[in-house]
Amino acid sequence: MLFAHRFVDRFGQAGWSKDITHDMQRTDALFALICLLMVGCGQGQSDTVAAIEAPPRAFATARVCILTSTDALILPVEVAADEAERARGLMGRAHLPANAGMLFVYPETQPPENGFWMFRTHLPLDIAFIDSESLILSIQTMRPCQSLNPQRCPSYYADAPYQTALEVNAGFFASHGIESGDRVIMVEHDRCPRGEHLLEGTQHGVQARKRPG
């Protein structure tokens, strides 16, 4: 854990350590001013500039199958697959359809200290951190941050290495009985593949059984 407040890149890239020194304070103040002048911020400094200066573009779309101990759910998602897309994410969005989400895909496993924040994100969101075996490690509810200073926005962490992350409207996971230990896989069609497993258990001990039907 970093000294003082852990402050990381909005979508899992390397952020700023917060050893509170005079030089870092001056750097932070300058960056906050740049953010305000540019009317927006991402999280890593280079990712921030790239994400804001680049014109908005449509995300690729896909579908994921969420397998719980009792159900299988197909969810359409937008896919954030490169640094600029992950840095922008759902920033500035006024609406996310009730049964939709955004999937953040990384080329490498992310360490536990790489987290997400809600700077300039207007929607309350749930986030599921997912490991390389497609298992949900943890679920967090993230509230919009109203501060103009990104350093005042809380960060949210998986507390374990993760490979992807799925953001949905706040309350979606609870209302569908989705929890840690369930599985999230990408699919090509509007149904979960036959023969997949429903999972029951926890992050620390998951057992699989055949999906009914």
Task: Work out the burial of residue 72: count CB atoms within 10 Å of its CB; fewer than 13 is exposed, 13-18 middle, 19 or more buried.
Answer: middle
Q: What is the pLDDT of residues 94-133, one digit of tens each?
A: 999 999 999 999 999 999 999 998 999 999 999 999 999 9
Across the chain, mean pLDDT equals 74
Q: How far is CA 184 from the centre of its chain?
A: 14
CATH class of residue range 22-210: mainly beta
Query: Does pLDDT of 6 surpass 90?
Result: no
What's the pTM?
A: 0.70
Q: How far apart are CA 51 and CA 86, in angstroms?
A: 9
Better-predicted residue by pLDDT, 14 or 176: 176
Better-predicted residue by pLDDT, 134 or 24: 134
> Domain segments of the chain: what residues?
22-210
Q: Which residues lie across from 116 on neighbouring strands?
A: 11, 156
- Give SS3 for 81: coil
Q: How far apart are CA 102 and CA 75, in angstroms?
A: 10
Task: Work out the burial of residue 78: count CB atoms within 10 Å of its CB; fewer than 13 is exposed, 13-18 middle, 19 or more buried.
Answer: buried
Q: What is the pLDDT of residues 180-212, one digit of tens each?
A: 999 999 998 777 876 454 433 322 223 333 343
